[in-house]
Every structure is written in C-alpha cells, then in structure tokens.
Structure 1
Amino acid sequence: MTTAAVFGTGSWGTAFSAVLADSGTSVRMWGRRPELVDQINAGSNEDYLPGIRLPEGIRATTDPAEAAEGADIVVLAVPSQTLRHNLERWAHHLPRDAAVVSLMKGVELGTTKRMSEVIAEVGGVESERIVVVSGPNLAGEIALKQPAASVVACTDHATAERVADACWSTYFRPYTLTDVVGCEIGGAVKNVVALAVGMAEGMGMGDNSKASLITRGLAETTRLGVALGGDPATFAGLAGVGDLVATCSSPLSRNRTFGVNLGHGMAVKEVEAVTKQTAEGVKSCDSILQLAREHDVYVPIIEQVAAVVHEGRTPQQVVESLLSRARKHELE
C-alpha cells in the first residue's frame, strides 16, 4: 500500500488527504495544533471542513518525523509564504526517494520563486521528484465527494503517474502533465484575478464585467507563464482556465470572497480581521507583479489589484484605470 505524509491540516490539505485515503492510500497528516490533530484522529476537521466525516485510513500527529517516516509521497499543504520556514524545519525528515507534492498556489515574496523552486532549494529535492497538483479544486466541494478533475504535473512523467495513481478515486480524476511552470503560474495568478472579479461583484457589476476580467486575466496569466517557459496549451486546460473559472465564480473561493468585501468598501485590514483563512492572492499579488516586471510582461489587472492591496487604491479607481488605457489588438 502507498503511504502519504500530508503536512498541513487546513481545508485543502484535509480534503486532499481524504482523496488519497479514498483512493486506497494510507495517510498520516502533520499539524501544529494538538487539538486539531485530536479532531482529525477522531474522524473530522471541524475548524476547516465542518460536518464532514473523514474516511478511514487517515491519522494525524504533531511530530513531523512520525508523519514522514516511510512515506512514498510527501504532500505540502501550508500557506505559500510559510513554506520556506516550514521546510527548514522539516527537510531532514523527508524520505530521500519520496515524491514531494505541492498543493500551494503562490509566488514567494522577496525571491519571486515558485513553490517548486522553494522545495528544490530548501528541501534539496530533485526536480524529477517534485510534483504540482492544480486545477478547479475547491476543497469544500471535494470534501463532499463532488466530482472534480485536476492536473498532476512533474518533469518526470513516471513520477506524475505514480502520484496520480495514489489520488485517483471515484470522484477525483487526475490528469498528468510535465509542464510544472505552467501549472504553478496558472494556480498563482488565478487568485489575483479572483480578487479583481470579487471586487467587481462587490461593486454590483454584472456578468459581462466579470467575464471580461476573467478572460483578460487569463491573457495575463498566459503571457507570464509562457515568458517563464510554460506551455501555452496548459492555460487552456484544467490548471489554467479551469482553475480560473472555479476560483473567480464560486462563493467558496477565499480570494473571490475577499475581493467582494473590498468591492463593498472595506479596507484590506478590515477584511483580514473578519476572515480566518488565507487568501493567497492578497499575499502573492506583489511578488507576482514583481515577477512579471522582471520578465517585462504586461499585467495591468495584477498591477491594479496590487495597488488596492498595497497602496490603498479603491476598486472604483482600479476600474477607471483599466478602462482608460489605450486601445489595442486583443491578441497582442
């Protein structure tokens, strides 16, 4: 039987643990809070997935060495901006032949590194063992066993297949890719676009406005991803437009919800005070903008979202700025 160690007990880490267990994989989760670990061992995670009964085959511990021991697959499911700090404490526990899976969707502040690059640098993990899982994967729906598909990407196709086999269940269908860069950029940028779409929703704008933002946001995502070496076809798939549509459209999306509150007139600090889960787009928008500028990629939506988050611009000012730009050919 395949054994997986899942580091992180938030909503997506827990939901993916359930997917693994339902696929016949033995799962050991690591969490820093003893009370939450006890909940999981009793069969639920009421803090993040209330009312959901977890499948058999999941156990949790506060000891990273115990979680990682003998694991064939190590899954990292912590907030993206904490990955480096956490890996500095965990790296020596990770089995040297395990596939290391990233569920995180962000770009590191300060370094503009993608999560796979942080894993390689801090964890000493070879690229052929680093796997990215991305797609339209709203944790609450997957925890309810509603059908979903995802992409499992690794530069080594055999490793991608191994991880896909471990998470293929009756309700979760993984597809494999070798385009790690494209999957990571799609997963990171869609959070920022969802903030913009949420702001439009909060301001009372209709479906035309939101569809326009989603489509132009996809164009920005593709430009940046291709500049970094991603495959253009990836952005037309599950890790691109699929993830983007789900995150921008669903009330379950933290980033969209955060944006809605901004559109209602709340300040960033006010929204942060009333929300309990991480909106990755808020954390990563500045680093994604920096990454785009480093590669001379034009990303006006990302730029305006970062201005709201970091410079105090209002959503109305953002709309005016986007609409007043010079006209251009759509495919430039």
Structure 2
Amino acid sequence: MAATDIAVFGAGAWGTALAMAWARQGARVDLWGHPPSLVDQLVQTRRHPSLADVELPAGVTPRHDPADLFGAPLWVSALPTQVAPEVWRDLASRTPRRPELVVSVSKGILQHTFRRVSETLEPILGVPVGAFSGPTFADEVSRSRPSAIVLALPAAVPDGRAEALQAQLATPNLRVYLSRDVTGVELCGAFKNVLSIAAGLVESLGLGNNARAALITRGLAEMARLVEAMGGSRDTLMGLAGLGDLVLTATGPQSRNRTFGALVGKGMTVEAAAASLGNQVVEGVFTAEAALGMAETMGVDLPITREVVRLLAGEDPRASVERLMQRDLRPERD
C-alpha cells in the first residue's frame, strides 16, 4: 500500500483546502507547492497564509520535494492554470511512474493556445485527466462548511472506477456529483471568472441589482454559446459547475475576480488592483482574452467578454456598459 492516498501538486488556498477536507476523512495527503518559503510556513505553523484561521489536519504532510509525491495512487493538479503545463512537463521528466488518472482542480483556459487544462495535460502525462469544479470558496471548504462540487471524468475512466473515485473524494461536508462532461465543466469553471470581473464592474459603478441580475443571466447565455460550440452539455451549464459557480463568484464577497473587477471599475490600473489583492492569481484576467480567442475561432459572439478585455486594456468602464446597452435588440435565445 502506498504511504500516501492523494498527492496534491499546488499548495495555493484551493489545493490546501481540498487537502484539509480529504485528510479530515482519514486520507493521507501529501501537499507540494511553490515557493519553498510557503512550504516552510506550512510545515512550521501548520497554517496557510490565505486560510490562517484553520490548522492543517494531521493527515496533511507538506513536502519540499515533489518527488516525494510521485508514489501516490491519485495525483491532483492544483497549479495555477497558466503555469500548469510547464510545471507538469518538468515533473513528468523526473519520474517514469504515472497514476491511473489525474484530477485537475484549476480553473482557466491557456492564454496562448486557447486550450483547456485537461486537454493540455493529457499528452504531457499520458493518462486521462478529469476536472473538479463547482461553487466552492476555499476558505469555506477549509472550514468544513457544506459545499457541493462536480467531478468530471473522461470516458476512458470506467464507470466503476469513476464511482469509486467519487466516493473517495466526497466527505460529509463536500458533496461530489459525477459528470462525464469534462469539456463543459472546465469551460464553465474558467468562463465564470470573466463574468465575475464584469459583475464587479457593475457593482463598482453603482448600477444596481437589476443590472447585476441582467449581467449574470446574459453572461450565462454567453457561456452557453461557447460551451455548446465546444461540445459541452447544456445540463452542465444549468448545474453546479455552470450556474452554481457563476452565481457564487459573481456575488460572493470572497471572490477575487469580482473584487478585482470592482477595483478596476473604480479607476485602479490592472497592476494596482492585482497588487491590492496581494498579487494572488486572478484567473479571469488571463481567461478573458483566451476565451475571446477561442470564441472567434468558433464564430461565437461574446459581447460581455469583449468588453472585459477592453476594460483590462484600460478603456473607460462606463463606455463598456454603454456599448452593451446599445447593442441591437434581439430575441432572448440569441
């Protein structure tokens, strides 16, 4: 039997929160991250700087050397999306061993290739890669607050194995639903960050609850056009990974993307807004341009996303709102 049940590569708030949740259920979880000073802090204080009020359970072992994680039967990738391929190429070169599958918990689209995380990692690792996504703030999962999430696995993973993995990753306070729509789950998880930046803009400009509700609803329609064009399922859009995660991230006070959008809407530069958030990764910044590029290759219209890209380029926020309000009238289904 392996000394570790689950290896989490990426010791950000989300990867650490999941490690905590699984360890509380008795799993032995090894956790590796960067920079080394972060791992030092986890070892010495048993607390993550972004989850400072919650102590790591005994079952979580922070590791300085990623090689210590390679023997685990399940690998979880919690690395920031934009650096994940490069890091995994390096990690894969260090060991010939591979697990049966890898689960990615990162949300985003690769900025230069317009590819999803799973379709980028599968050829690097040579194993199926699934996605774990839904309306889940890291701090609430770390505190064992009731949450629900979707585990999306590709068809290469047999039904019996998929159900066993679903049971392994579920806890009494983290309900896991099984899906086979990896494409839809990943795209929803990425795209909702872009729409959440727009929601922050609406908030900062004082445009009211009507405008925010319209933004979320039309944003969901925009998400649907892209997901369905890429082969995802409408059921996913209306579920936890789609509507659920969008509502949470567009309205929740812990949302980095919403807060970032609000700061930019108040006149901060992109750089200043990021700095005010402690230079945490704001995935929607990277995903906006990538989603727009992906949509253009598919002939899909994403007007809200286009305005977010303009906003990030320094254009006047109120001009963006005006352009959206003055678009040609059309049936709601469009």
Tell me which residue corresponds to 1:231: 233
Tell me which residue corresponds to 1:245: 247
Decide whether aligned partners of structure 1 residues 146 and 189 sit closer, same or farther in structure 2, where only a CA change above 3 A counts.
same
Please say if residues 24 and 166 of structure 1, whose CA atoms lie closer than 8 Å, have aligned partners that are also in contact: no
Query: TM (normalized to structure 1)?
Result: 0.95
Find 1:36's aligned residue among 28, 35, 38: 38
Tell me which residue corresponds to 1:144: 143
Residues 277-307 of structure 1: per-residue CA shift (max 9 Å, x gap): 1110011110110001111111100111011
RMSD: 1.5
CA distance in 2 between counterparts of 1:147 and 1:12 reads 16
Decide whether aligned partners of structure 1 residues 117 and 94 sit closer, same or farther in structure 2, where only a CA change above 3 A counts.
farther
Tell me which residue corresponds to 1:308: 311
TM-aligned CA deviation for residue 94 of structure 1: 7.1
Tell me which residue corresponds to 2:121: 119
Tell me which residue corresponds to 1:21: 23
1:134 and 2:133 aligned: yes
CA distance in 1 between counterparts of 2:34 and 2:100 reads 22
Tell me which residue corresponds to 1:88: 89
Moved more, 168-177 or 158-167: 158-167
Moved more, 74-83 or 116-125: 116-125
Please say if residues 33 and 62 of structure 1, whose CA atoms lie closer than 8 Å, have aligned partners that are also in contact: no
Matches within 5 A, 1:243-322: 243-276=245-278, 277-309=280-312, 311-322=313-324
Please say if residues 60 and 67 of structure 1, whose CA atoms lie closer than 8 Å, have aligned partners that are also in contact: no
Structure 2 residue matching 1:51: 3-state secondary structure: strand
CA distance in 2 between counterparts of 1:255 and 1:295 reads 26
Decide whether aligned partners of structure 1 residues 105 and 94 sit closer, same or farther in structure 2, where only a CA change above 3 A counts.
farther
TM-aligned CA deviation for residue 275 of structure 1: 1.9
TM-aligned CA deviation for residue 46 of structure 1: 3.5
Query: TM (normalized to structure 2)?
Result: 0.94
Tell me which residue corresponds to 1:77: 78
Q: Where do 5+ consecutive residues of structure 1 fail to align? A: none
CA distance in 1 between counterparts of 2:43 and 2:172 reads 24
CA distance in 2 between counterparts of 1:23 and 1:46 reads 19
CA distance in 2 between counterparts of 1:297 and 1:209 reads 23
Count of residues in correspondence between the two structures = 327
Runs of 4 or more, structure 1, over 3 Å off, are 92-95, 157-160
Q: Where do 5+ consecutive residues of structure 2 fail to align? A: none
